[in-house]
């Protein structure tokens, strides 16, 4: 059962951001139309569930690659500033070690995963905004404003979930230090 849950979580962490990005992209093109892509192309894509699924997975993998690059950059900075911001260092650099040692329970894992899920969704909305600005170049700014609202909501969610994730790793660390301080000393 654990393997099924792990695979399901992996699928969800890829599928949800990909579906959100593709959904926002299509919604804006339905509302505003595309000046660059012929409507017949979208009709062909929509006619095939396989092609649509492949596009969503491709978007999701691309978003995940960007998220991993961002996370690597944050980890690099956290390593350099470890003494000033221990909680960020723990979240970005130590969480896999904590998980491997069995320190993170199911709820803690879910809370950490939700932060990274929010980050991936926000990255996808930024990708849609970049597409609109650099490729479509719409005459009106309404599509860009809609995506900016989506990005603001995604950032607010990511910040809220970041605070929760930091709190979780802080509690796990505090629990570890409490256990260590209670261990009997050798006489």
Q: Which residue has the higher pLDDT, 50 or 7?
A: 50
166 in a structural domain: yes
Q: Is residue 33 part of a domain?
A: yes
Domain membership of residue 180 (yes or no) is no
pLDDT at 102: 84
DSSP 3-state assignment of 101? coil
Q: CA–CA separation, 77 vs 74, rounded Å?
A: 5
Higher pLDDT, 165 or 4: 165
**pTM > 0.85: yes or no:** no
Residue ranges making up the domain that contains 24? 2-175
Quote the number of domains for the chain.
1
Q: Is 23 part of any domain?
A: yes
Residue 105 has phi, psi (to 5 degrees) of -80, 180
Check: CB of residue 28 under 8 Å from CB of residue 147: yes
Is 25 among the domain residues? yes
If we measure between CA atoms, which residue out of 115, 104, 119, 123 comes closest to residue 161? 115
Q: Is residue 184 part of a domain?
A: no
Say yes or no to pLDDT of 111 above 80: yes
Tell whether 133 is covered by a domain.
yes
Give a yes or no: residue 182 inside a domain: no
């Amino acid at each position: 059962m654990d393997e099924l849950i792990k695979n399901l979580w992996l699928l969800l962490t890829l599928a949800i951001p990909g579906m959100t990005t593709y959904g926002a992209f299509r919604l804006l093109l339905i509302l505003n139309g595309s000046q660059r892509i012929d409507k017949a192309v979208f009709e062909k894509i929509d006619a095939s569930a396989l092609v649509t699924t492949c596009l969503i997975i491709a978007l999701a993998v691309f978003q995940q690659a960007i998220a991993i690059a961002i996370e690597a950059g944050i980890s690099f900075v956290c390593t350099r500033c470890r003494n000033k911001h221990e909680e960020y260092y723990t979240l970005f650099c130590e969480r896999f070690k904590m998980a491997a040692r069995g320190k993170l329970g199911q709820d803690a894992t879910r809370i950490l995963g939700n932060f990274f899920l929010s980050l991936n969704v926000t990255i996808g909305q930024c990708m849609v905004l970049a597409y609109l600005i650099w490729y479509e170049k719409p005459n009106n700014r309404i599509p860009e404003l809609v995506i900016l609202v989506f990005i603001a909501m995604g950032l607010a969610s990511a910040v809220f979930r970041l605070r929760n994730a930091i709190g979780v790793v802080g509690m796990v660390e505090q629990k570890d230090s409490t256990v260590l301080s209670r261990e009997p000393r050798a006489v």
